[in-house]
Amino acid sequence: MILDSLRYWLTHMHVDGFRFDLASVLVRDGTGAPLPNPPIIWDIESDPVLAGTKMIAEAWDAAGLYQVGSFVGDSWHEWNGRFRDDARRFLKGDRGTVSKLATRLLGSPDIYGHKERDPNKVSIS
C-alpha cells in the first residue's frame, strides 16, 4: 500500500518528493524491534518508478527510536531537528546557544560527521 500510494502521488499528482514524519517506525519489525535492513525502506529505495524522488526521513519515532545521523538507506535524506531546536533557542535569546547554532550552521558535524555519512543527505528543518 505504501509503494502504491507513493507511485500514485508521483505519477498522477506530480509530487517530486516525500517527507516521512516519524520515519523510524518504518524500520521496526512486527514486535517493534528495529531492523538493520528494513524491507520497506529498501523497497522504496529500489522501486524504479520512485527512482530520483526526494525522500526525507524524520529519523525518530514516538517510541523513542532516534536515528538522526544513522537512518538506513542510501538515497534518504534526514530532517535535522536539532538544527530547528538550536536555531529556535538562539533566536529566543537563550543563554549558551551560540556554539550550538555554530555547530548546526557548519552542517552538524557532531551528528553527521562520521565516515559513512554523505553530507548531502541532511535536510534542514
Q: Among all residues, which ones are annotated catalytic?
A: 21, 58
- Rounded to whole angstroms, how far apart are CA atoms 3 and 14? 15
Task: List, as one string, the DSSP characters of 108-119.
Answer: -HHHH-STT--G
- Rounded to whole angstroms, how far apart are CA atoms 57 and 109? 18
- Rounded to whole angstroms, how far apart are CA atoms 111 and 15? 29
- Rounded to whole angstroms, how far apart are CA atoms 19 and 27? 15
